[in-house]
Amino acid sequence: MNQRLDHHTLEKYENIWFGIATVMALFLFVTVLASFFSGTYPSLTGEGGHHITGVKNGRLNPKNFAATPFATPGLRQNADGTYEAFVVARAFQFEPAVLKVPVGKPITIHVTSADVLHGYFIEGTNINTTAIPGQVSSFTTTFRRPGTLNVICNEYCGTGHHNMINGVKVEVQEP
């Protein structure tokens, strides 16, 4: 009698755990899908769901930034209050040399290269993308703490590669 009861109880627990595992798997799947469609998933070919003037399907002419926001690299706030930053990598520096961003705000960063392949790695974060001539790499991130972070080129790009270090300055905004 006891044994039958135990068996029954075990089966019940098994079902509960199976249910929890299913819910967790579903949750993960939906989260990944949602981040993919909302553009927070790093993308090398898209524009993070944003339209950029002069950029078509994430492609642009690296010899002519004039018609794109990359002509004036840096942070800007859109009419809807969202933040976008445009960064140009070229041998052997990033433009702007120091990207100033507000703390605690989602920022979509678009990176491209004016010449050869460069890396874009922000020290102390998991931000690590590639600056490709003719393409825009876009991702959205939120910097949680004020301070200065090093931006490092981690793709070999020539003689000045080892000195290709600039910064991101995360600032507290005045109210």
Q: Which spans of this chain sit near ligand CUA (rule: CB under 6 A)?
A: 92, 118-119, 153, 155-157, 161, 164
CB 145 → ligand CUA: shortest distance, Å? 26
Query: CB-wise, 88 or 164, nearer to ligand CUA?
Result: 164
CB 81 → ligand CUA: shortest distance, Å? 33
Number of neighbours of residue 130 by Cβ within 10 angstroms: 17
| Single-letter amino acid code for the residue at 138 | S
- Do residues 24 and 84 lie in contact, with contact meaning Cβ atoms separated by under 8 Å? no
Number of neighbours of residue 3 by Cβ within 10 angstroms: 7
Query: CB-wise, 59 or 161, nearer to ligand CUA?
Result: 161
Query: CB-wise, 55 or 153, nearer to ligand CUA?
Result: 153
Query: CB-wise, 129 or 140, nearer to ligand CUA?
Result: 129
CB 156 → ligand CUA: shortest distance, Å? 6
- Do residues 45 and 57 lie in contact, with contact meaning Cβ atoms separated by under 8 Å? yes
CB 167 → ligand CUA: shortest distance, Å? 15
* Helix or strand run (H / E) with residue 18: helix 2-38
* Helix or strand run (H / E) with residue 171: strand 165-171
Report the SS3 class of residue 111: strand
